[in-house]
Amino acid sequence: MSKQTKGNFSKFMAGKGFYVALTFCLIGAGAAAWAAVDRTIDSIDQNNKAILDRASSSLPLSSSESNWGFPSLEEADKPQSGVSKPSASSSSADTSSSSSEASSESSSSSEPSEQPVQSPVLDFVLPVQGEILTSFSQGELVKDVTLGEWRTHDGVDIKADKGAEVFAAAAGSVTKVAQDTLWGQVVEITHGDGSISRYCGLAKDLAVKEGDLVNAGQTIGQVDSIPTEISLPTHIHFELIGSDGNLDPLAIIGR
């Protein structure tokens, strides 16, 4: 090679020739990298295939059980050995037994767990023995001879001598003792059935006090006077009060 040619080549390499050489180097490096990646992918595919082959050989699945481990519809419909189908009579008996048990449970649940507490039956007696001066008015207005007014008479007036003993009409507890301007000395007794007997016109000196327990026929006081019925002969005004209001004492006692 002549000196001129060498000089031209040197100028080329010093200029554009350097970039051409760099391009060839990059192409060569890329080809080498692609070859390495291709070999790696082939190796991975071969390993995966080997793993799948081993799994298939160790867990063979029949065509009838390849759907998530469940047999096909054709296999399920075939009769199975050792398995008996329930007869219609046994199914009916089971249904009848279930209905009977449900009915028994329903009836037992509807029954009350505890029997209701019944109120004691009381026998009432008149607090004094004597003539009935004024009867229970059943809610109707009657004329008060002392006040000259029309009003209901909510009890019975029983004639008795002043100082005569007054008795409890039934067993119970003394729940009220009061001095009333119209009815005089008043005693109330609450009984076991919730009813209340009221005695008006007693003397101030009583034989009982609030909180005392009394028996039927026990003395609670003596007859005195009633300001609002002073025009009548000496008597006791006697009332019976239930949950719905005043009751007819004579009807309750049976007179």
Q: Residues in the chain with pLDDT < 70? A: 1-25, 28-38, 40-121, 255
| Per-residue pLDDT, 64 | 44
Q: Are residues 51 and 140 part of one domain? A: no
Residue 61: name the closest of 51, 50, 71 by CA: 71
Q: Is residue 247 part of a domain?
A: yes
> Is 244 part of any domain?
yes
pLDDT at 123: 85
pLDDT, one tens digit per residue, over 39-53 is 766 666 666 566 556
The answer as to whether 127 is a domain residue is: no
Position 162 scores a pLDDT of 97
**Strand pairing class (235-242; 245-247):** antiparallel
In a domain, 46, yes or no: yes
Structural domain for 233, as ranges: 132-253
Model-level pTM?
0.54
Domain boundary among 14, 35, 58: 58
125 located within any domain: no
User: What's the whole-number average pLDDT of the chain?
Assistant: 77
In a domain, 152, yes or no: yes
Give the chain as a DSSP string.
--HHHHHHHHHHHHTTHHHHHHHHHHHHHHHHHHHHHHHHHHHHHHHHHHHHHHHHHHS---GGGTBTTBPPHHHHHSPPTT-PPPPHHHHHHHHHHHHHHHHHHHHHHHS-SSPPPPPPP-----SS-S-EEE---TT-EEE-TTT--EEE--SEEEE--TT-EEE-SSSEEEEEEEEETTTEEEEEEEETTS-EEEEEEE-SS-S--TT-EE-TT-EEEEB---GGGTTSPSEEEEEEEETTEEE-HHHHHT-
The answer on 136 and 52 residing in a single domain is no
**Residue 32 in domain:** yes
- Residue 238 within a domain: yes
The total of structural domains in the chain comes to 2
Q: What angle do CA 20, 22, 28 make, to 5 degrees?
A: 105
The single-letter code of the amino acid at 131 is E
Give the distance, in angstroms, between the CA of residue 54 and the centroid of all CA atoms in the same chain: 64
Instruction: Kindly state whether residues 144 and 248 are assigned to the same domain.
Output: yes
CATH number of the domain to which 195 belongs: 2.70.70.10
Q: Which of 17, 37, 58 is the last residue of a domain?
A: 58
Whether residue 219 sits in one domain with residue 137 = yes
